[in-house]
Amino acid sequence: MAKNVKRQFPNPKELAPLMKFGTPTFKRKEKRLAEALTIWDLREIAKKRTPQGAFDYTDGAAESETSLDRARQAFKDLEFVPSILHDVSGATLDRSALGNNFKMPVGIAPTGFARMMQTEGEIAGSRAAEKFGIPFCLSTLGTTTIEDVVAAAPGGVNWFQLYVRKDREASLALVERAQKAGVQNLLLTVDVPAAGQRLRDYRNGFTIPPRLSAKTLINAIPRPGWWMNFLTTPPLEFASLSEWSGTVGELLDHLFDPSLTFDDLKWVRANWKGSITIKGIQNIEDAKKAAKFGADAIVLSNHGGRQLDRAPVPLHLLADIKGQFKKDMEVHLDTGIMHGADVLAAIALGAQYTYVGRAYLYGLMAGGQAGVERALQILQSQMIRNMKLLGVNTLDELEPKHVRFLNRS
């Protein structure tokens, strides 16, 4: 027994203040979401609650998945350089992009087939985005119509992402519908001349919509909630896809036009009255061409690692490409963002705005709209905390001097 302390019997009166027990709750979803402290925590919840095919469609990337791994590693290889003894009591995340003022510098990227991940789908994403004051972008391959998304979040900023299809009249019809619905920004995705080989989809036999095979039924046993929602809500509907029975990669090859060139951007520009953002830029030359052909912003992106394996890492391109443009050309970024600090690093290196895809979908799969809101809460708190630790009050104060890449050689 230690000689430097005096032992005594515990006093019940002194123990009483220490005996604090939480109030039991039967709101299991609320409890599990509250216990998620990171996007990675939401991913673990999502994996347990979502069939393997749908989860892997979100979680996976092309071929060896090296593009995605490298994008995430790039953020890990950053070192922050903080400044001390600054008054950071007024730290704010306000950020402007494409003529809009947003409450955070991160929006929801276009992701296909969201209702297949969780039945609330794009409606959950648009309403969460509206609540947090950030943009929501609907994909051409979304499972909710443009009109329904806008109606669900009438006070939000709803954008539309376009894949130019072989059937140009069908593409034009989507553009016209988006314009009529009040969409002000069109994200034109340009990195899909062919579908990346997403091996997880092939190995899972994942089709659109998912088939009720013996394998999927066995996989569904521990995930009854997903299947109950899938079977008791309106069927998934996709433009021109009602009879499609192949994988997503085969679908992309069937629909999208490999002959698309920069000259086709003139056609899009002529048929769209709002701002245009070109998504999928991966080198300086293409960034300059996009600006020349009328883009209001570009998104440095390798499609979340889902197209070309070993593609350039967007974060590594950022500083050089940003340096080629004046302030009137906005440079945005996606791919690999899993933490609020990742967003701050991108802003410091020159990004005007950023987007998350998987982080949003992990939240959606973990708990519908409440899960998406939890994902945004996590990113929000991480950004505010790290801004204060860096010694800055506004995003405009973030500069390249606040970050540096570690030398791994």
The residues carrying an active-site annotation are 303
- What is the Cα–Cα distance from 160 to 85, expressed in whole angstroms? 43
Cα dihedral: 318, 321, 325, 326 (round 10): 20
H/E element, 386: helix 358-390
Pairing of strands 403-405, 78-80: antiparallel
- What is the Cα–Cα distance from 377 to 374, expressed in whole angstroms? 5
Burial bucket for residue 408 (CB in 10 Å: 0-12, 13-18, 19+): exposed
Cα dihedral: 135, 141, 144, 147 (round 10): 70
- Residue pair 152/123 in contact (Cβ under 8 Å)? The answer is yes
- Residue pair 153/126 in contact (Cβ under 8 Å)? The answer is yes
Distance of CA 308 to the CA centre of its chain: 19
Amino acid at 356: V
Amino acid at 288: K
Residue of 48, 251, 281 lying closest to 139 (CA atoms) = 251
